[in-house]
Amino acid sequence: MPCKNCLRKPVIALPNSNVKLCSGCFVKYFERKVFKTIAKYNMIKPGDRIGVAVSGGKDSFSLLYLLNKFADKHRKLSIVVVSIDEGIKGYRDLSNVENYCKENSIEYHAFSFKKEFGLTLDQMSKKVKMNPCSICGILRRFLLNSKARQLKLTKIATGHNLDDEAQSILMNQFRGNLERSARLGPVTGILSDRRFVRRIKPFYFLSEKEVATYSFIKKFPVPYNECPYSISSYRADVRDMLNDFTEKHPQTKHAVINSFLEVLPLLKKRYSESKIRGCKVCKEPTSGDVCTVCKLLESLK
Ligand code: SF4
Ligand code: ZN
Ligand code: ZN
């Protein structure tokens, strides 16, 4: 079947539909969908100073390209790139991000676990009996939030796509942690606490396959390899299960997202009362006395 719009050779069959598109029509469809999501959820306002979290992979690189394009059109908006080097040997390499920012005159800030916490993720994972992805997630969230405040960013944009979000929803469900799900959604956060910098996810309604196709067509200088730790994670198990199921029942991932969006306002309301205090050690926001980051750093001593 040729491209639905222009009858040229198709490059992709859109997930959850019978529509096939050629590369030119797909790029237009993809960009329209991103800008529509930004508008629908009021993600960006004039005067915003948006921090784009860029790891150098296909999702965040595509996001950087598109938000830079968006900022070029909207003069009252500025974007700043924030990258975090977790210290994963043979995997994390931020040189493509740094070069891109230089070439396009984009403000760039890089931080590393080694410099901020004294150890790389590789070293940490040998010291504590904890899944590397859990360590990585806790420390990355913490660094992004605290650095965003220091850099006076109004929001943080991440390259999370529909697959990532569907996995997170199911992971929280399987672990019985609905409070965590209340912090998901296209614009995150349950509290308007000044210590939390809101996160926006412009790729919320685009699948992993669509983002990978966009990045491939645009020839972004990104690696397509996987993090060595991803194989053994809880997320990887949920991802494989969800992919298998979606293979047989194509509407699955979209259904997970759409039904979640229906209950999200209720979840946000239910957990908006949770008390957020300041961590006794680092003063960062936490629901307990000591935050998970400080507990983790203590166990690494
Ligand atoms: Fe971090 Fe796990 Fe992602 Fe690797 S797969 S970057 S360890 S969260
Ligand atoms: Zn076409
Ligand atoms: Zn703390």
Q: 283 alpha carbon to ligand 3 midpoint, in Å?
A: 6
Q: 153 alpha carbon to ligand 3 midpoint, in Å?
A: 21
Q: Which of 162, 157, 142 is nearest to 187 (CA)?
A: 157
Q: 220 alpha carbon to ligand 2 midpoint, in Å?
A: 21
Task: Say what the pLDDT of residue 97 is.
Answer: 96
- Do residues 286 and 277 touch, judged by C-beta distance below 8 A? yes
pLDDT in tens, 9-59: 999 999 978 899 999 999 999 999 999 999 999 999 999 999 999 999 999
Residues within 6 Å of ligand 1 by CB: 86, 132-133, 136-137, 227, 229-230, 233
Can you say how many angstroms the Cα of residue 243 is from the centroid of all Cα atoms in its chain?
Answer: 19
Low-confidence ranges of the chain (pLDDT < 70): 189-192, 273-274
H or E stretch including 145? helix 132-150
Task: Say what the pLDDT of residue 192 is.
Answer: 62
